[in-house]
Structure 1
Amino acid sequence: MGQGTGIVGGGIVGVALARALALRGDDVTVLEKENRLAAHQTGHNSGVVHAGLYYAPGSLKATLCAEGRGQIRDFCAEKRLPYREVGKLVVAVDESERGALDEIERRATSNGVPDLERIDDAARIAEIEPHVQGVSAVHSPHTAVVDYASITEAMAQDVRACGGRILLGHEVTAMREQGGKVYVRTAASEHAFERVVVCAGLQSDVVARFVGADASPRILPFRGEYWALRPQRAGLVRGMIYPVPDPRFPFLGVHFTRGVYDDVHVGPNAVPALAREGYSWLHWSAADTWGSLRWPGAWPLARQHWRMGADEISGSLLKPRYFRKAQRFIPELRMADLRRTSAAGVRAQAWGRGGELLDDFAIDQVGSVTLLRNAPSPAATSSLAIADHLIRHHLS
């Protein structure tokens, strides 16, 4: 037999799984292609510990987010890592958004979001966020912010303390199952494992093909770009201010977040990235772009959502367009209040052959290889719960 469990991917989900296995005494090895952990989605997000407002009741997202938010809070307390409950206000700017806000309230209530408050009074909205304009809102006072990269490093310390191995700079280039073992090759070495779990994020479909998994779902990378409030104007935002999301898309829209270190960032938007790890318009890959264009779901998606795509791209390229999306919620906001940052993230969004964007977490099994095929937000919030779920249902 092979040696223990191999985990492909050193983001927060992969390391959380490695920690859970190592704590119970399993032999575990993490293979990460970068020279540091949390190098992609984990280290480039808003740092929000989601309370579960948006997710379809009964879905994996809803269930594991509810479990995971408390686990992250307890982990931060144990490791003395920052955890700030700044609260989230989801705002309906006008009457046309009340119906969608009703649905958010229904889902949040079904998902057990603690101390949820529906607000239909402008004065009460102003008590929570004095500079916000809206006709109605939902307030989640316990929604928190953290530093997910630091959390990942703390989890990794537990893995190593239990005898687990984390190998950086080990990009997986091939994988095969033979004779009761799963052989995993990197540029530096070859390993034989009893089983493998792939938590490869932006590269998850690439790694899935190594073991003959279905090509669907494919990863479509969406870049999210951030602006920041100038420090002297950070007082415009106390916690988090979110729009009512468009239910057709698995994105939340441009929002304001006071981070765990007290900076206030604005965003992200959602534009198609020209590379799986394309953090700006200057980063592009002909292979990645051509692969997306050739995918059967490309043209159905484009036909259905081209207006949204054009709007997001124009907001990316033109500051006034981005600014107007943000100013809807804070009329006092001025364009000079926004400063460009280098911060951006790329979301690994799975999509099917028919052009559909997958909304829930997705897990496949091919022999002794478990594939996490779709794990966007709230995967960081849910990371410890995802690890428990994988162990219960795939690695027991």
Structure 2
Amino acid sequence: MEQVRKSAHDCDALVIGGGIVGLSTAYAITRAAPGTRVTVLEKEPGPARHQTGRNSGVIHSGIYYRPGSLKARYAVRGAAEMVKFCAEYGIAHAVTGKLIVATGRDELPRLHALVQRGRENGIPVRELGAAQIEEYEPEVRGLAAIHVGTTGICDYTAVARHLADASGADIRYGAEVVRVDRRPERGVAVLTSGGDIVRARVLVNCAGLHCDEVARRTGDDPQVRIVPFRGEYYELARPELVRGLVYPVPDPAFPFLGVHLTRGIDGGVHVGPNAVPALAREGYGWGVVRPRELAGTLSWPGSWRIARRHWRYGAGELRRSVSKAAFAEAVRRLLPAVEERDLVPAPAGVRAQAVLRDGTLVDDFLIREGPRTVHVLNAPSPAATASLPIGREVARRALAALAATE
């Protein structure tokens, strides 16, 4: 690849990744610094084809997250901003509220802890007894529950499209990054699969499932590996059984919320997801295997440490993956009326989970910087909810990096 010349930059900031975080970042850069030239490279033929467009569409309240963490701050702020953004631009959304339901006595202390956490995060929470659950969800059963009023739903793909249109950035679809040449004193040049070379003063890595690979291509050590987990969903054939959003009490030892029920913006009810290891970074089914990516996962010491630490939990998830009856059994803890035949397979998603070498699952947002680079290395749920404030934070760092090059 030819060397980058300072006078020959095609753009000021080059964003890799056309999901909701990348597009929010491009939007925030052009809002904060009008005239900044921004290019977005997305390998798919359109925006939001992976994590953004393959989730249940929930606007999360922020009740689960440790007070003071980036997830807590961004989710609470982001939920309010997302509702306002959708209302302003006519994007389908609704503030529905949700129930978190305890079905066993061992879950009651964890439910009470969520009440306290919600209050610390400034989230309105109502505690419910068993009889009060039916006021919200007549078919749901539990020992106790909490109602979280600020949770909602929206069409995140439509949000991403609007961010793309409104950003004023040069967005190039079908442009997969195959090589990065960084010269700290001159800039960054990226070669795409189509043979194009894009030169920039600063690179912003929002590549989601491939963010650690992009970081390594720049010469930065991300110190994490993306381990993909597939979330498998069903659609409820009898959507009338559920009015809104119903969640179990999460297990704090694992960063997944468990099988839940979500009435989407289209009126259908999603059931899931469970979480199983994916055999490829875009492995949306057991039949999708990419040996190089699988080898990368298996060679990372943290992957084996996760397996040893969480094998019991993982075994249950795998059982629900291969057995529809087992999945239905899990749903009946919340919704006793559901039958196996009520579950219709729906598209799966894959979560880009950052894992440290010691097997720690990175729980919070992780943003790191290098010479002329900003890397978003972990953007777990509630990344879509919090995408507007996350985009501003990444944009702030990108603009600081740009200022340092002048």
Unaligned runs of 5+ in 2: 1-5, 401-406
For residues 181 and 290 of structure 1, what CA distance do their matches in structure 2 show?
32
Summarize the alignment of residues 80-95 of structure 1 with structure 2, pairs less than 5 Å apart.
Answer: 80-95=90-105
For residues 200 and 330 of structure 2, what CA distance do their matches in structure 1 show?
49
Q: CA deviation at 1:106?
A: 1.7
For residues 103 and 398 of structure 2, what CA distance do their matches in structure 1 show?
44
1:117 equivalent to 2:134? Answer no
Q: CA deviation at 1:73?
A: 0.9
1:213 equivalent to 2:226? Answer no
Partner of 1:190: 197
Match for residue 285 of structure 1 among 269, 286, 290: 290
**Matched residue SS, 2:100:** strand
Summarize the alignment of residues 305-320 of structure 1 with structure 2, pairs less than 5 Å apart.
Answer: 305-320=310-325
For residues 37 and 361 of structure 1, what CA distance do their matches in structure 2 show?
22
Match for residue 274 of structure 1 among 275, 279, 296: 279
Q: Is the 8 A contact 1:43 1:149 kept in 2?
A: yes
- Letter of the structure 2 residue corresponding to residue 103 of structure 1: A
Partner of 2:393: 389
Q: CA deviation at 1:229?
A: 0.8
Match for residue 40 of structure 2 among 22, 26, 30: 30
Q: Deviations over 1:35-60 (max 9, x none)?
A: 11101000000100000010111111
For residues 34 and 336 of structure 1, what CA distance do their matches in structure 2 show?
35
For residues 293 and 315 of structure 2, what CA distance do their matches in structure 1 show?
20
Q: CA deviation at 1:307?
A: 1.3
Q: Deviations over 1:161-189 (max 9, x none)?
A: x3x20000111111122132111121221
Partner of 2:109: 99
For residues 155 and 222 of structure 1, what CA distance do their matches in structure 2 show?
27
Match for residue 166 of structure 1 among 171, 174, 177: 171
Partner of 1:57: 67
**Matched residue SS, 1:91:** strand
**Matched residue SS, 1:378:** coil
Match for residue 68 of structure 1 among 64, 73, 78: 78
Q: CA deviation at 1:395?
A: 2.5
Partner of 1:127: 135
**Matched residue SS, 1:302:** helix
Q: Deviations over 1:284-319 (max 9, x none)?
A: 111111111111112211111111111111100001
Unaligned runs of 5+ in 1: none
332-341 or 312-321, larger mean C-alpha shift: 332-341
Q: CA deviation at 1:91?
A: 0.4
Q: Is the 8 A contact 2:26 2:395 kept in 1?
A: no
For residues 215 and 141 of structure 1, what CA distance do their matches in structure 2 show?
38
1:204 equivalent to 2:211? Answer yes
For residues 352 and 72 of structure 1, what CA distance do their matches in structure 2 show?
31
Q: Is the 8 A contact 2:29 2:396 kept in 1?
A: no
Q: Is the 8 A contact 2:29 2:399 kept in 1?
A: no
TM-score with structure 1 setting the length: 0.96
Summarize the alignment of residues 241-280 of structure 1 with structure 2, pairs less than 5 Å apart.
Answer: 241-280=246-285
**Matched residue SS, 1:20:** helix
Partner of 1:145: 153
For residues 133 and 295 of structure 2, what CA distance do their matches in structure 1 show?
47
Match for residue 180 of structure 1 among 176, 180, 186: 186
Q: Is the 8 A contact 1:86 1:258 kept in 2?
A: no
For residues 192 and 329 of structure 2, what CA distance do their matches in structure 1 show?
47
TM-score with structure 2 setting the length: 0.93
Q: Deviations over 1:332-358 (max 9, x none)?
A: 1122221222x1000000001011111
Q: CA deviation at 1:135?
A: 1.0
For residues 276 and 333 of structure 1, what CA distance do their matches in structure 2 show?
32
- Letter of the structure 2 residue corresponding to residue 43 of structure 1: G
Q: CA deviation at 1:142?
A: 2.4
**Matched residue SS, 2:310:** helix
Q: Is the 8 A contact 2:374 2:397 kept in 1?
A: no
Moved over 3 A (4+): none
Q: Is the 8 A contact 2:29 2:392 kept in 1?
A: no
